[in-house]
Structure 1
Amino acid sequence: MTAWLRLGSVSALAAQAPDAQSWMSAGERARLAGMPATRRRAQFVAGRWLARMLLARAFGGGWQDWSLSDGEDAPPRACGPVPASLSISHSQELVACAVGRDVLGLDLEPVRPRKGLDALYAAITTEAERAALAAHVGQADAVHRFAHAWTLKEAGIKRHGGALFATMLGHALTLVPSCALHADACTWLHDGHVLALCAADVASLDLAEMAAAPRYWRLLRAGACAPAES
């Protein structure tokens, strides 16, 4: 079934949103009040506002008809006119949201050098995955390949569950390149970031303003085999 994906500017969305007292739940307002950093507060407002607007656009009703859970240690859940799932991710000045009928996971990370990157990249990927990333990611450097690997597996955690340590270092999820027909994940390069989405059907995404074409992947749980490409 179709999933919807949108990106936006944190500052623009935070400025566009009405006063939090008029649309956030008491739990969301309490979380917001406990955030001392201005940027983190803006990211929280922008993500929650984008989610409500996207849920209304995808499934009907107005944004006022949708609410989000406010658990600090759990991903937000949507409550509205029909059952729906969502995932929100933000990085610096970008915020992304995906919604759909089925559970999905989204991750957004900057493409940037970091200390010990080569060792970390080797730790979270297998030799076969590194060969696949080298063939499937257009950019030749390890910084881009690492960003694709990390966001894909983080998106997989958000969709399937699991611990960060086991997934990244224990290789609980393995990534393989795929065609759109068999894919359950895809990545984009956007404004110095890699965005990854893991969902049941990524071939029929509603992307709107996303200009770049996605790269398709399949995330396999430990011991699973990839389907034959046709």
Structure 2
Amino acid sequence: MDGCRLWLGGLDAAGVPYGDPHGWLTAAEQSRLAGLSAPLRRRQFLAGHWQVRALAAGFAGGMTRDWRLAAAPDGQPWLEGPGDVRLCASISHSGDWLAVAVATRAIGLDVEVPRRERDYDALARHVFAPAEIARREALAPSDRLAAFNTTWALKEVFGKRGGQGLQPHAARHIASEMAPDGEAEAFSWALPCEGALALAAWPGVLPELESTGPVGVARGWRYRPVG
């Protein structure tokens, strides 16, 4: 079995059994949850950790509660299920949006939905490669926010896949560029309100996306080192 599956939706669509989180969270997860005081962050945590289990059960079998979520030394999450099946996992949320993914190889997932004004030009100069900056600046001003979120998400997922996270200096030396199916190692989807969903996986992957709302057509990408 080799593949990747994603789920995207609102927090309320995750169907979390909020009444008894201790019945399915690991001790480490319970400790993390206890450290979260903001109601939204607690909802995001529970929804993400439940839905990634549900996705794993649908992908590889077993019941949702059969899957245990843990983190490798580099911080990358993984799931262990019935029969010692092990899957890589990734969770992302932005406001009321939630995205989760499971796969047989290392992955990174990110959802970006703009919620406040930011200095997008300065952020692009700080993190994007020169070709990515030029690609965005060539667009009409009305299209630049969506392009920023797509490129930013592609940066995030590259770092998550590798376990190092988004590091600005390193990110400026990796450029994302469009790639045809069969060669793409990453994908992006446009979301409402100029948001974006992105996944980094491996060349030739064909991810399966389940969404409870409208998403754009998948676009394939690859990463190229730049000087």
TM range (shorter): 0.7 to 0.9
Q: Which amino acid aligns with 2:87?
A: A
**How many corresponding residue pairs?**
220
Cα 1:71–1:201, aligned 2, differ >3 Å: closer, same or farther? closer
User: Normalising by the residue count of structure 1, what TM-score does the alignment of the two structures yield?
Assistant: 0.84
Separation (CA, whole Å) in 1 of partners of 2:199 and 2:140: 18
Matches within 5 A, 1:95-134: 95-111=98-114, 114-133=117-136
Identity %: 34
CA contact (8 A) 1:134 1:140 kept: no
Q: Is the 8 A contact 1:178 1:218 kept in 2?
A: yes
1:212 equivalent in structure 2:
216
**In structure 1, what is the equivalent of residue 4 of structure 2?**
3
Change in Cα spacing, 1:208 to 1:116, as seen in structure 2 (3 Å) is closer
Q: Equivalent residue of 1:103, what SS?
A: coil
**Does structure 1 conserve the Cα–Cα contact (< 8 Å) formed by 2:78 and 2:86?**
no
Q: Is residue 167 from structure 1 mapped to residue 160 from structure 2 by the alignment?
A: no
Between the aligned partners of 2:97 and 2:223, the Cα distance in structure 1 is 25
Larger mean Cα displacement after TM superposition, 45-54 or 122-131: 122-131
Instruction: Give yes or no for contact 2:16–2:46 (8 Å, CA) kept in 1.
Output: no
Distance across 1 between alignment mates of 2:70 and 2:126? 34
CA separation of 1:46/1:172 partners in 2, compared to 1, >3 Å: closer, same or farther?
A: same
1:145-201, CA deviations, whole angstroms, 9 ceiling, x for partnerless residues? 111111101100001233523333xx2321111111211111111233211100115
- Say if 1:24 and 1:111 are closer, same or farther in 2 by CA, change over 3 A: same
Output the CA distance in 2 between the equivalents of 1:152 and 1:95.
Answer: 17
Find the counterpart in structure 2 of residue 36 from structure 1. Answer: 37
- Structure 2 residue aligned with 1:227: none
Identify the residue that residue 184 of structure 1 maps to in structure 2: 185
**Aligned counterpart for 1:94 among listed residues 94, 97, 119:** 97
Deviations 1:80-123 (A, max 9, x none): 23121010000100110111100000011113563322122133
CA gap 1:141/1:212 in 2 versus in 1, 3 angstroms: closer
Contact 1:32 1:44 in 2 (8 A): yes
Select between 54-63 and 77-86 the one with higher mean Cα deviation.
Answer: 77-86
The answer for the alignment partner of 2:27 in structure 1 is 26
Structure 1: runs of 5 or more not aligned:
224-230
Q: Could you tell me the TM-score, scaled by structure 2's length? A: 0.85
Bigger CA drift: 184-193 or 74-83? Answer: 74-83
Q: Work out which of the residue numbers 148, 151, 156 in structure 1 matches 2:150.
A: 148
Question: Is this contact kept in 2: 1:89–1:107, CA < 8 A?
Answer: yes
1:217-228 counterparts in 2 under 5 A?
A: 217-222=221-226
From the superposition, tell whether residues 107 and 66 of structure 1 become closer, same or farther in structure 2 (CA, over 3 Å).
same
- The residue number in structure 2 matching 1:74 is 75
RMSD of aligned alpha carbons? 2.7
Letter in structure 1 aligned against 2:5: W
